[in-house]
Amino acid sequence: MQSLTTTSLRIRENQLWILDQQALPQRSDWRECRNVSELVDHIRTLRVRGAPLIGLSASLLLALLAEQGMSQDALLDSLETLRASRPTAVNLMNNLDRMKAALHQSDYVKALAEEALRLVEEDRALCDSIADHGAALVTHGSRLLTHCNTGGLATAGVGTAIGVIRRAHGLGNVQQVWVDETRPLLQGGRLTAWELGELGIPYQLICDSMAASLMAQKRVDAIWVGADRIAANGDVANKIGTYSLAVLAKYHGIPFYVAAPHTTHDPHCPNGSAIPIEQRAASEVTGVSGSFGAVQWAPDDAQVYNPAFDVTPAELISGWVLDVGVVTPVQVRDGILTQALK
């Protein structure tokens, strides 16, 4: 397979390398990913994260394993193992469905490589289109708030919500960005803050619980988030804490936008209650770990509830900013979301 470089993925000499997102921002560590078990571990430990990037990394690895001589049956088993690695983000499922179709071609080695690279290029184009559509909604002097990480680290391109912010900043319309630290894994504090700093976009980092006070002070003009799955009725699963922001935005009369590619839409999932929500390790809540080490602050026997995602009902969303355009609440109620993505 040809060489490839994105913010978080590389292919060099027929080998996949991933940027360890647990080590950022203190270190930029590139890890070799030689087999499915390694990639599953990277995904589950969030060294690889972001709904689009998870799907792309799985697709690229399958193509590389085919080129390295793995049998058709073994590739199919590997594909299903990867499918089970993260249950909530539907991009992984959509990408693997396309790779499975390629795997059934007569020259499946060539077909897998072509499909994996096509998925990367499509994601880049999808991100650009989302950024264009979203930037048109950002007014001059906007103070925007975002949650988790939705930039180039999580995609092959400029990102989803951060891609919108990046494009709007380039147009001179972003005054500053409020960055939720995003408990419990701090993807905002570690990753979004790092990305915005690299891009020269002014930001201030806040604890998640500070967002309400900023809204009450009228210091937030709009909220931009990404999505891991969009149900047929417009309900959105995203990083835990997103729902809280949507409720606060509704109370304070602040626009709440979801930016995502069409690959995040799941027409077979009727609503948010049908979206599987991943439960993660208690250690993520009882303490914190990263490139700096690990610290535990809770009692050893503390009981923990740690869902990775929550669901924001469609009625709290001001607009779904997709690569195909901006879908409004009225259109979603009329069923146009699903129609637009067919």
Residues involved in catalysis: 228
C-alpha–C-alpha distance, residues 203 and 119, integer Å: 32
Q: Could you give the 3-state DSSP secondary structure of residue 52?
A: helix
Q: Are 211 and 231 in contact (CB under 8 A)?
A: no
Which tokens is 177 given?
């960005």
What single string gives the DSSP state of each residue in 102-150? HHTSTTHHHHHHHHHHHHHHHHHHHHHHHHHHHHTTPPTTEEEEE-S--
Q: Which of 224, 309, 255 is nearest to 51 (CA)?
A: 309
Please state the φ and ψ torsions of residue 211, each to the nearest 5 degrees: -60, -40
**Separation of alpha carbons 340 and 334, rounded Å:** 11
CA distance 138 to 144: 9
The Cα angle at residue 256 between residues 251 and 260, in degrees rounded to 5 = 155
Neighbours of 242 (CB within 10 A): 26
In the chain, what's the furthest Cα-to-Cα distance? 62
Pairing of strands 236-239, 256-259: unpaired
Asked if residue 299 has a cis previous peptide bond (ω within 30° of 0), the answer is no
Residue written as token pair 């949650």: 147
Q: What are phi and psi of 274, to 5 degrees?
A: -95, 0
